[in-house]
Amino acid sequence: MDYLYFLANASLTLRTINYLRIMKHARNASITVIHQIDGWIVKVRFPQSLTPELHGDFRAFMSELGITYDPEMRLQMVFWSLETGQSPVEVMRRYQVAVVAHGMPDTKEIEAFRQQFTRGLGYCPETLA
């Protein structure tokens, strides 16, 4: 079961990852995180369907952080390419997107991206806060 959301900044993305890491039902979830100029696209995939209660809880949590996202065709192709086993680097080159994380939820990738991006710019844009 997949959930796709648009989040405004890195802090909200990190909260999502931390939630997935501590929730028992979300331990086997995988996540794909894409950074865009105006925010973050987060796709969470659970290996099995959630119970109606867990589904409602997860949607409520995510709705507090962001909004559901309906990707354009290019991003649909990005997600499909990653799901079929293509490397994130190859996908980034082909579709010109910043795939920050793909796989098991881990905050280290987001933090490293934030640090490298802000170091290169010399300031911290709102989406990386």
pLDDT digits (tens, 9 = 90+) for 52-79: 999 999 999 999 999 999 999 999 999 9
CATH number where 56 lies:
3.30.70.1950
**For residue 60, is it within any domain?**
yes
Task: Quote the pLDDT of residue 115.
Answer: 83
Taking residues 29-55, report their average pLDDT: 94
- Span between the terminal Cα atoms of the chain, in Å: 29
Count structural domains, the chain. Answer: 1
User: Are 17 and 81 spatial neighbours (Cβ–Cβ below 8 Å)?
Assistant: no
Q: Domain residues for 79? A: 2-118
Residue 51: DSSP 8-state: P
* Residue 92 CA: distances (Å) to CA of 26, 64, 111: 27, 29, 19
**For residue 129, is it within any domain?**
no
Query: How far is 26 from 118, CA to CA, in rounded Å?
Result: 31
Average pLDDT for the chain: 91
The CA-based angle 33-125-77, given to 5 degrees, is 30
The helix or strand, by DSSP H or E, that contains position 68, with its residue range, turns out to be strand 66-68
